Amino acid sequence: MEATGTVLEGFGRHLSLQRNLSAHTVRAYLGDVTSLLEHLHERGTDLADLDLTALRSWLVGQQRRGMSRATLARRVAAVRTFCTWATRAGHLRSDVGARLRSPRPDRHLPAILGVEDAAGLLRTAEELAGDDDPVRLRDWAALELLYATGVRVSELVGTDVTDVDLAERTVRVTGKGDKERVVPFGVPAGRAVAAWLDRGRPRLTGRASGKALFLGARGARLDPRTVRGVLHRLTAAAGVHDLAPHGLRHSAATHLLAGGSDLRTVQEVLGHSSLATTQRYTHVTPERLRAAYTQAHPRA
Residues with a catalytic annotation lie at 152, 176, 246, 249, 272, 281
Closest C-alpha to 190, from 168, 157, 160: 168
Greatest CA separation for the chain: 68
CA distance 156 to 39: 38
Q: Which residues contact 42 (CB under 8 A, 6 or more apart)?
A: none
Say how many CA atoms lie within 13 Å of 165 toward its Cβ.
10
* Degrees, nearest 5: CA angle 61-62-67: 145
Long-range contacts of 136-139 (CB under 8 A, 24+ apart): 137/192, 137/195, 137/196, 137/199, 137/200, 138/196, 138/200, 138/201, 138/204, 138/214, 138/215, 138/222, 139/230, 139/234
Helix (H, G, I), strand (E, B) or coil at 174: strand
Q: Are strands 164-165 and 170-174 parallel, antiparallel or unpaired?
A: antiparallel
